[in-house]
Structures are given as structure tokens and as C-alpha cells.
Chains A and B, each alone.
Chain A
Amino acid sequence: MNNLRVGLVGAGSIARTHAPAWRELGAELFVFAPKLAKELAEEQGGTEVASMEELFDRVDVIDICSPTSSHADIATAALRADRDVVCEKPLTRTVDEGKGLMALAGERGRRLLPGHVVRYFPQYVQAKTAIDAGRVGKVAVLRFSRTAPFPSAAWFADDAASGGIILDQMIHDIDQAVWMAGPVKKVYATEHRVETAQRRVRTAHAVLTHESGAISHCRGLWGAPGTEFSCTFHVAGTGGILEHDSRKATGIELDIAVRSTVPPEDAHLPSFAMGANPYSLEIQDFFRTITTGSTPRVDARDGLRAVELSIAIIQSIHSGCPLTISNERDVQ
């Protein structure tokens, strides 16, 4: 059997987490991107290609690591070319795009796998496993937070392009809330943006009401320069609590004298020095699904749901009112 051939669209920081994961599995890697494709291809032992068409010709799977607003078009073209698709979150910029992709994937009998990598972070997996095993009884009140410095690439700050902090960052915790506490029936959110001459900071708070009666809080932050990436959760149920704070569970602490000699990390992405790389686990899961037909941990329906809830949250921010979600039957 031939090795899986994977076409990466994009060569930015997320592509750099996917590429080695595919290579670890023995996949052949092809890269198409406006910038840095050559560098990434060389680094990872892959091949740079000059066009999207050439990419589609040469691969079995397209892995979309490009900016949000391009996801739908590229995925559509890939599905029409009968390629399986892995696509970074958010699956799409709009709900209609997401529905369209799901329908098309269904028609063509192709995989559409959204990159909700937090489902592969071991701390979140442990919590989800414990909840499912009944360790904390019925979940009642959940809190999630995610913190990063304000992203530097211009398209993030452009709401039309990125969907802002909700669709880009909070979507991870929205997906976690659904994963841990079930479907959401109502959302309410507020956001505050402060822009001074030196600083841009955005923070957003969403309150979700689940069909089960559970309530969740998701808090996003794009903070001051130098802000370190961190994430937390706290789950309270009838049988106990679960909590995690990435800032405390480091396993290693540096005295400030030592810190000053350490070059700053890419603060958008967490450090995985302490364990199995969640991006590797995610890509391994997608690889298994594509090559053996196994059920992935996260699927297109989850990806679309996360987009739907994110868009509803954005609407709530603008209207200042809560929004009821209709959980329609899934598009088959």
C-alpha cells in the first residue's frame, strides 16, 4: 500500500505543527502557500508545489492551514476533486459555508475533519473521560478560559476575515463545553476591545446554557504583548469537581534570572515539552480515520456546531441580547 500523500495549504505556525505529525506517520508531504512553502517543505522533507491544482493532483488528503476566510473555498475545491479534507478551526467563516461543506462531503463520500486540537490535549481528555465515567456526577457549572497575546498577523483583527476572538480563539472552549456538557440551547456574550497607541487588548465572555441544564462560562483574551499562552478549566458536578490551570501545572518553574536568558516562545501555541504532542495525536486520529474508516474523536458536525455557536455568540455581543439556539437534525 502506498504511503498517504498529504497536501498542506499554508506554511504558517499551525502548518508547522501539522507537518511533522504527518511525517511521523510516514506520509508524503506537499506544501502550497503564498509564503514560506519552500522553507517548510525543505525542513520537513516534503515537496513545494506551485499551485492548488497541482496540489490536488498529487495528494490523497488536503490539510487546510490557511486563514479562516479561505477555508470554505479550498475545502469545496478539494472535496469536488474527491480528496479527503482536514481543515483547521474554525471549519468555516460562516454557518452557510459550513453547511455547504458538510453536504458536499456527504455527497462525495469524503472525510471532512476539523482541527479542534484541544480534544487531544491530555488534560482535557482526562476531564472528559472522568466526566463520562461519572467521577463528578452530573455536570452543573463549567468554566473555561484561554489567553494569548494579541495575534500579530493583520487578518486576525479583521472581524470580517477571522470572526475575531470568538471564532478564532473561544471556539476551542465552546467545543469543549459541548463535548463535556452536551448541546447548548442558549448563549449570551459580551466583549470589550481597548485600543491605545501602544496596546490592543480584547476580552470576551460567553455564558452558555446547555440542554441538560448545565451552565458554562467561556472567557477569551487577546492580551498585551508578552502575555503568555494559558488555558484553564473548572468543572463542578454533583459528585465533585475537576480543575486545571496550565499556569500552575508546568512541571518546571524558572527563576527570573534564568528566564531572561531564554528566548521568548511563540506564545500563540502552548509548549508541549511536558508530554505527547496534541497535534501529533490529532493528526494520528485523522490518519486512522482516513486510512481505516475509524470514527474520529471530532467530526465535521462538531466543527459546524462550533461555528454555529460562535456566530450566535458574536450576534449576542452585537445585539446585547441572549440568543436561543435551535438544535436541528444534522445534515446527512
Chain B
Amino acid sequence: MSFAHPHAGSYIMSLRERGDVELLAADPDSATAPAGELRGAALAEQLGVNYVATYDELLKSGLDAVIVCSENTRHRVGVELAAAAGAHVLCEKPLATEVADAEAMIAACSSAGVKLMTAFPVRFSPPFKALQDIIDKGHLGQIVGATGTNNGKVPIGANSWFIDPELAGGGALIDLAVHVADLLDALLGGATPAKVYAATNDILHVEKPEVTTETGGLVNILYTGGVVATIDSSWSQPDSAPNWGGVTLQVVGTNGVVDIDTSALHVGGFDQDKRQSFWLDYGANTTGELIEEFFSSIEEDRQPQPSGEVGLRTLQVVKAAQASAVSGDSVEL
């Protein structure tokens, strides 16, 4: 549902590679998308996917599952429609832009007896899985603290909704912090955020008049049980950097420290003609694994991970961070 998120293309590619999936797409919001952005039937043709004009037609076609790739504030409407039609749902992150929306989405899927998964691809990256394994085996001891970074390029360009707070639900915080909050949620086994403090600014990209939200953010989280963490959630990757950005996470335990860098698996290059460096990724296909988890959870009739509840918890962190940045105070959850 929807081509607003560029990941729609990756999902389509991954699903096609499986060979066991019939695909259908609809992108009615393309009608109101800014001129010049490739959406709707035109994009469907480029992606080579069957297309219908409305969600109604999409959902009446007899679907097992839906992937919601709309603008953040439109996730709820798509998920509720899908649930009502009895389709399992994989929803792009953040799950929603307001806690009440996320709660409603979880309730709708639960009543309809369908699965709800939040799309956090970093969870499926090999470095993170290795980190999780080390922690599960006790090699790090008791977790004491963590520092996570998600520094990306400012997402202007092909999908301008990312920087429109009406459609994105905020700025750098909601775009970036949830990925790290999800990794911490997965690692801290039940500990939940108790207090959040965020400081933000809008110094980066001040020369771009279309960017009106915060562009830099530091989010400190105090978890139940005492673990402390800070997330750098900033659009601080330079526009001409060789890669979009990536997630790093350092976890401190009583036995030592482990660092992961999800963008480390690349060959570095320098293009003399273009006068810039470039990166060639060779890491695993996390989209494929994410979809595999979604499908397995349906087949095995279990909660997908990350679930809708994880989507809600990570959104709560971001909403608290947004509130803290505005009030200047720490926020208790």
C-alpha cells in the first residue's frame, strides 16, 4: 500500500525474488504527491508490478498480507483498512506518528486476528545478530549502558514528505531514532524506557528553506533497571558523503564493550572523475530476511519480531524525545 517510502521498491524486488508471492500495488496518495515525484502507476510500471488505483480494489483482490509504505502519518489508515480486510500487515517505521494511532493499529490487528510487524531492517543485519548472540550467551555480562548513532543524509529529493512534519510526524528524531530504540528494545530483554531527555537543534541544513524541523538530536534514555543510553539521531551525514549513513551501536557490559557498525561491510572506492569517494555495499539483504520473518510468523502463527508492540514502544521513546526537546525537561514514561 503506497509508494511513498522508497523501500517499496526493495520490498517488491525481494518479494519477486522469492518466486512464491503474487504482487499487487496501489498508491492512491500519488494523486496529491508533489509534482515531479515518481509515484503511482508510473512507478508501478518501472518496478514491473501489477497496479490498481485504489486501496479498495487492492484489498478486495483477496490478499493474505499487506506491506504499508505510506507517509508516516498515513500508516494508521492503511493498517486499519488492511486489518479490516483480514490481511496480515507489515508496516514501515515508525509504526505511527502518535501513540494513540499506534495503539489503535495494534488493537485493530488484534481484533481482526492478523499479524502486525514493524519494519526495522537493522534488526536483521548480521552485525546486530552477532551482537545479540554475544549478549544472549552472556559474554558481555550485565548490560550497563549503550551509545547508538543513526546519522543520515537529510532526506530531501525524491520523496519530499520525509521533511514535511505534517506527513513525517516530525524531523530528524522520528526519522532516525526509532531504529536504535528498536535495537535497544531487542537487547534489553524487558527493560523499558523510564525517562527520556532530548536536546535538538536546526543548525544543519539551515540553508535549505524546505527543511523546517529539527535536524540534529541527542536522545538520552534511562531504562528501568538502570541502563543508560544515548542516541545521536541527526541528519548529519554530509550531502556529498559516499553513503547515506548507517546505524552504529556500542554496548557496555560488565565484561567489556562491543561495537557494531551496520555500514562497515563495504568496499571503499574513489572516483577521480567525479572527485569523490564511493562505497560498494556487500552486506546481507536485510529486506529479504525481514520479509522472511514476516511470512514465517504468519505460517507459524506467532508474533512477528519486531511486532506492533515494539513499534509502539519505540514510538513512545521518540514522542517523549520530541516533548522533551520542546519543554526542555526530562520526560517520564
CA distance A89 to B328 in the complex (A): 31
How many pairs of A and B residues are in contact by the CB < 8 Å rule? 133
Interface of B, helix, strand, loop or mixed by DSSP: strand
Least Cβ–Cβ distance between B251 and chain A, in angstroms: 10
How many chain A residues touch B (CB < 8 A): the figure is: 45
- B252 close to A221 (CB less than 8 A): yes
Given contacts A140-B201, A238-B207, contact A321 B329 (CB under 8 A): yes
Q: How far is the CB of B170 from chain A (nearest CB, A)?
A: 17
Would B204 and A207 count as touching, CB distance under 8 A?
Answer: no
In the bound complex, do residue B215 and residue A227 qualify as a contact, i.e. CB atoms below 8 Å apart?
no
Instruction: Choose one: B198, B232, B257; the contact of A221 (CB below 8 Å).
Output: B257
Q: Does A145 contact B (CB under 8 A)?
A: yes
* A205, B254: Cβ atoms closer than 8 Å: no
- Contact A320/B195 with A140-B234, A192-B227, A223-B257 known, Cβ cut-off 8 Å: yes
CA of A307 to CA of B58, assembled, Å = 63
- Are A213's CB and B256's CB within 8 A? no
Task: Check B257 against A147 for contact (C-beta < 8 Å).
Answer: yes
B236 interface hit (Cβ, 8 Å): yes
In the assembled complex, A97 has its CB within 8 A of some CB on chain B: no
Of the stretches A2-10, A193-201, A269-277, A297-305, the one at the interface is: A193-201
A201 to B227, CA, bound (A): 12
The answer on a CB contact under 8 Å between B226 and A192 is yes
Q: Does A157 contact B (CB under 8 A)?
A: no
Asked if B228 and A207 make an inter-chain contact with CB atoms under 8 angstroms apart, the answer reads no
CB-defined contacts of B226 to chain A, threshold 8 Å: 192-194
Q: Inside 8 A of A238's CB, which chain B residues have their CB?
A: 203-207
B330 within 8 A of A: yes
B201-237 interface code vs A (CB 8 A; 1 in, 0 out): 1011111000000011110101000111110101011
Residues of A within 8 A of B294 (CB): none
B147 close to A140 (CB less than 8 A): no
Q: Which of B24-32, B61-69, B138-146 lies at the interface with chain A? A: B138-146
* A207-B142 in contact given A141-B218, A236-B234, A322-B328 (Cβ < 8 Å): no
Q: List 8 A-B contacts (CB under 8 A).
A: A186-B199, A188-B197, A192-B226, A192-B227, A207-B198, A213-B201, A214-B203, A241-B237
Q: Which residues of B contact A (CB under 8 A)?
A: 141-142, 144-145, 147, 149, 151, 195, 197-201, 203-207, 215-218, 220, 222, 226-230, 232, 234, 236-238, 252-257, 328-330
